[in-house]
Amino acid sequence: MTEPHEPHLDLDTCTDLLKALAHPVRLRMVLALEGGERCACELADLSPCDRTTSSKHLAVLREAGIVEDRREGTRILYSLKLSCVLSMLRCVNRFADPASDPGGCACSLPKEEPQRRKES
């Protein structure tokens, strides 16, 4: 069996990125950053986790290259470094539920129709 070949696609990097996004708290944080830079404390308030756990979630996103941070006095401010991830999330959401975001996705993956079983 031959594998599909994409010369410019680093599967390890893709896997790391998708793993970093594979938690509802981290997704919520990424979506909150769509509006611009936010303080770590604001992002922590969006999740049911304590500040330490929220900080660990932000570290996962930072290590994956999805967000970046900077210090301003005693505050740590986060912003999206990989803003195209928002388009990917919208595309996934639209694929799962086309009515949720009409026109919001550039992809046009057809949903496969279920095959009927042949009756004997």
Report residue 29's pLDDT band, with 50, 70 and 90 as the boundaries. very high
Task: Kindly tell me if the per-residue pLDDT of 55 is higher than 90.
Answer: yes
State residue 92's pLDDT score: 87
Report d(CA 22, CA 61) in Å as an integer: 10
State residue 16's pLDDT score: 93
Note the pTM of the prediction, 2 decimals. Answer: 0.74
Q: Tens digit of pLDDT for each residue in 57-87?
A: 999 999 999 999 999 999 999 999 999 999 9
State residue 30's pLDDT score: 97
State residue 84's pLDDT score: 93
| DSSP string covering 24-78 | HHHHHHHHHGGGS-EEHHHHHHTSSS-HHHHHHHHHHHHHTTSEEEEEETTEEEE
Domains, the chain, in order of start with CATH, read 12-94 (1.10.10.10)
State residue 28's pLDDT score: 95
